[in-house]
A = this chain, B = another copy of it.
Amino acid sequence: MKVSEIGEFGLIARLSRMADKSGDKSQGAWRQLIAGIGDDATAYLNDGSIQLATVDSLVQDIHFSLKYTPWKELGWKSLAVNLSDIAAMGGLPRYALVSLGLPGNIEVEDVITLYRGMIELATKFGVAIVGGDTIASPVIFISITVLGSAGNEKRRILRRSAAKPGDEIAVTGYLGASAAGLEMLKKQRHFSTGDTAQLKKAHLKPYPRIIEGQLLVKNGVKCGMDISDGLIGDLSHICEESRVGARIDTNLVPTSPVVKRCFGKQSLELALTGGEDYELLFTADKKVMDKVKKEIKCPVTVIGEITTAKSNEIKLIDNRGKQVEIKNTGWDHFSKGLSFPRRRESS
């Protein structure tokens, strides 16, 4: 069987099982592991404090195209998707290691601009870029490792496996603008100057919800992740890991206003399945949720509820109470030829 037939999630599931079975869980590194495969980042104990690590690679013409991604934005975004993984655990990012694969005919000035974009974002969160390598490659790839921490043992992290029936499901910010931006860039669609700039920014310069992730943990949220593959696709990861179902009221989903303006009828689908918004998706009981809404400055919208439905059954209900059908639920790069989004089930 070819990799393209089993698909990305099928493959990572098989490899993960192999790795997971290989170790003696009662010993050494395995014993101190808190979250491994199945969460946004790896979490392990070190001297009583929780350490986080995540790695993500972006490949030219699979995850980005130089046709519509300026080098600086490419640098920013490559780091942003990794910082978002640390945010998704409620942690604090500290160090970044960058591995760059580059064809020999790339301009040095472009690589420097790429680094500038990375450094611009790193500086905002006090992240130190401390190592990495540059290697010859027929295709550009950017593989970034981010190391973070999540306080001491008593402090919790956000897990995908912690959703409970009855929990409210919420998201930060607005959804759909990144996918809409990609659509605009790929199909060269024209909108007003303001809308164009907003859509571009949403796709090329996502802002990781580091502060918000930490506030979620502080206020007692236990289940969360970032939206990289699309709301429905990512919610299905939570449902799988937590062995629960979910109900989403589609009219509650906070579709980005610019997406509504520019994409009309298509906007709900973009918000539900678009991916790469890098907002946080989380669940908590009503009491915790009410606290969160007060504490977090960005919009927090409750969009549905965790149910006892069989694992991974997600019902989408429209404003007339009718069930909505959608076609795509997330990204799988081995079977589709899409651009930029992230694509994984593990850290």
How distant is the Cα of A131 from the Cα of B55 in the complex, in angstroms?
A: 8
Partner-contacting stretch, out of A20-28, A169-177, A186-194: A20-28
Docked-complex contact A1 and B107, CB < 8 angstroms: yes
Q: How many angstroms from the CA of A15 to the CA of B113 in the assembled complex? A: 10
Instruction: State whether the Cβ of A51 lies closer than 8 Å to any Cβ in chain B.
Output: yes
Q: Is A3 located at the chain interface by the 8 A CB criterion?
A: yes
The minimal Cβ–Cβ distance linking A66 to chain B, given in whole angstroms, is 14
Q: Which residue of B lies closest to A40 (CB)?
A: B131
Other-chain residue from B14, B32, B36 in contact with A131 (beta carbon distance below 8 A): B36
Q: Which of A1-25 contact B (CB under 8 A)?
A: 1-6, 8, 11-12, 14-15, 18-19, 22-23
**Is there contact, CB below 8 Å, between B54 and A19?**
no
A314 to chain B, nearest CB (A): 23
Are B333 and A135 in contact, with the CB atoms below 8 A? yes
Contact A53 B97 (CB under 8 A): yes
- In the complex, the chain B residue whose C-beta lies closest to that of A119 is B22
Known contacts A101-B59, A130-B33, A147 near B53 by CB under 8 Å: yes
- Docked-complex contact B1 and A37, CB < 8 angstroms: no
Does A29 belong to the interface (CB within 8 Å)? yes
Q: State whether B28 touches A104 (Cβ < 8 A).
A: no
> Does A343 sit within 8 A of B, measured CB to CB?
yes
A325 at the interface (CB under 8 A from B): no
CB proximity of A330 to chain B, nearest CB, Å:
14
A33: B residues at CB distance < 8 A: 95, 128, 130
